[in-house]
């Protein structure tokens, strides 16, 4: 297994293949030909958004002073409250997006996030022949193909290495370092907020307590739905599927499962099963069929995914020829994400051409056939296990184990049933029957188990 360790991540440089006439013309307009570094004109950079990531990008540019890059504009709404004294006086602070887009900047760095108005700014910048660097995973997940086509038509460049896994070079690695392989499956921890919450819950803390701690540290928003509901990881998974599996899917077809139903007792049972719990995004393509899902899953303690703590991210790619490759590191926070943004900027300054990744539209049609962990909370009475067994047997699902811890009251008794590998649709039908049982205090928690 090849690992790109978080202490020393490997960045794979751009390929310098043949360019189209239009691309060469655009590059010559933006950057002087490679050769004598003193002959090059630095790229003029405009930051759109001066929040956590934007300020970190500016900090790197100001402190590192790369000769290839020149920060010229900072755009932000109510920009006066964002001003800092460490930014050079030559930088223009503005609330006028139109003026920046009409200026002679070479690259717009979009760090505002969301679909609108960020999407409109990116389109206008590309239409004006400018290049764009963005960390906007939602925009790339939903409109990345369209924007890349637009950039190809106008001779600009669109780079989004920071859109997935923060400072971990997963996207450059897929575009270039693993381009010679055929990726068959992928799974990963793509949301630092959920990883912080779940890794803290391993110690016995409850979800609400850890969420409050994550919000206090700035890891979680006041409304954490985008993260804990799995929507953030879903957008990132859709991007990786296009680059790794070469399929374009509608992110809305990937139905996420929230981590909010996971409790401390689930970690206790998971430990007894030799596992822990992580929010995992996974996808695979087999014989033209695509499967994808996002949600909390039981992960074997020997798995690399179990090693990830705090806000770290991890992506495991399985290639037909190269086997497993693991990328890991800090996937959240201003500085790690800013590193990926500045790396994209430097790649542009050094003449990196747009990487063409062939992909085809696809539908999510396949199912993962894996073991499942099902945790019940019941008011105890005779016959509960027999009824559950009958419902599972009707769908040809075999029970692997039944685990019940001592010390819980009979009126609120948690216990776990694990089942052999089965299709999610079959288990869903069985649980619809089980949900009608009068002893249930809440719906059973159903989690996939990664083996």
Catalytic residues: 236
Tokens for 266, please give them.
């689930």
Tokens for 263, please give them.
């409790």
Q: Give DSSP secondary structure letters for 409-444.
A: -GGGEEEEEEEEEEEHHHHHHHHHHHTT-TTBSSPP
208: which residues sit within 8 A by CB, 6+ positions away? none
**C-alpha span between 255 and 314 (Å, rounded):** 21
CB contact burial 262-290 (16+ within 10 A = b; e otherwise): bbebbbebbeebebbbbbbbbbbbeeeeb
Contact 418, 300 (CB under 8 A): no
To the nearest 10 degrees (0 to 180), the angle between helices 384-394 and 424-434 is: 140
**C-alpha span between 220 and 296 (Å, rounded):** 17
Contact 158, 165 (CB under 8 A): no
Which run of H or of E encompasses 394?
helix 384-394
Helix (H, G, I), strand (E, B) or coil at 217: coil
């Amino acid at each position: 297994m090849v690992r790109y360790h978080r202490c020393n991540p490997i960045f794979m440089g751009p390929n310098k293949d043949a360019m189209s006439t239009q691309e060469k013309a655009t590059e010559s307009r933006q950057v002087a030909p490679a050769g004598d570094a003193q002959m090059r004109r630095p790229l003029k950079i405009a930051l759109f958004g001066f929040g956590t990531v934007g300020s970190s990008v500016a900090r790197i540019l100001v402190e590192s002073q790369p000769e290839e890059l020149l920060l010229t504009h900072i755009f932000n709404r109510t920009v006066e409250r964002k001003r800092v004294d460490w930014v050079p006086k030559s930088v223009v602070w503005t609330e006028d997006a139109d003026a920046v887009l009409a200026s002679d900047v070479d690259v717009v760095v979009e760090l505002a996030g969301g679909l609108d108005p960020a999407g409109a700014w990116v389109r206008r910048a590309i239409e004006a022949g400018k290049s764009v660097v963005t960390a906007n995973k939602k925009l790339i997940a939903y409109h990345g193909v369209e924007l890349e086509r637009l950039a190809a038509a106008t001779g600009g460049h669109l780079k989004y290495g920071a859109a997935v896994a923060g400072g971990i070079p997963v996207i450059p690695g897929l575009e270039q370092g693993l381009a010679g392989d055929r990726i068959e499956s992928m799974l990963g921890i793509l949301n630092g907020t959920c990883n912080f919450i779940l890794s803290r819950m391993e110690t016995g803390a409850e979800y609400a307590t850890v969420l409050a701690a994550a919000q206090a540290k700035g890891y979680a928003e006041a409304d954490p739905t985008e993260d804990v509901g799995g929507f953030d990881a879903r957008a990132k998974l859709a991007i990786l599927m296009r680059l790794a599996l070469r399929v374009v899917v509608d992110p809305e077809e990937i139905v996420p499962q929230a981590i909010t139903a996971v409790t401390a007792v689930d970690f206790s049972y998971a430990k007894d099963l030799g596992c822990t719990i992580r929010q995992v995004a996974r996808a695979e393509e087999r014989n033209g069929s695509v499967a994808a899902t996002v949600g909390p899953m039981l992960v074997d303690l020997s798995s690399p995914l179990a090693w990830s703590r705090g806000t770290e991210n991890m992506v495991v790619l399985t290639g037909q020829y190269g086997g497993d490759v693991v990328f890991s590191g800090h996937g959240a926070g201003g500085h790690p994400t800013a590193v990926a943004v500045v790396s994209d900027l430097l790649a542009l300054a050094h003449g990196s051409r747009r990487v063409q990744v062939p992909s085809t539209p696809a539908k999510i049609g396949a199912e993962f056939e894996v073991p499942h962990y099902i945790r019940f909370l019941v008011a105890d009475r005779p016959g509960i296990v027999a009824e559950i067994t009958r419902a599972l047997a009707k769908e040809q699902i075999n029970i692997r184990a039944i685990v019940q811890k001592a010390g819980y009251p009979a009126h609120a008794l948690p216990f776990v049933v694990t089942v052999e590998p089965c299709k999610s649709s079959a288990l869903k039908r069985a649980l619809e029957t089980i949900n009608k049982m009068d002893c249930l205090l809440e719906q059973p928690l159903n989690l996939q188990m990664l083996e």
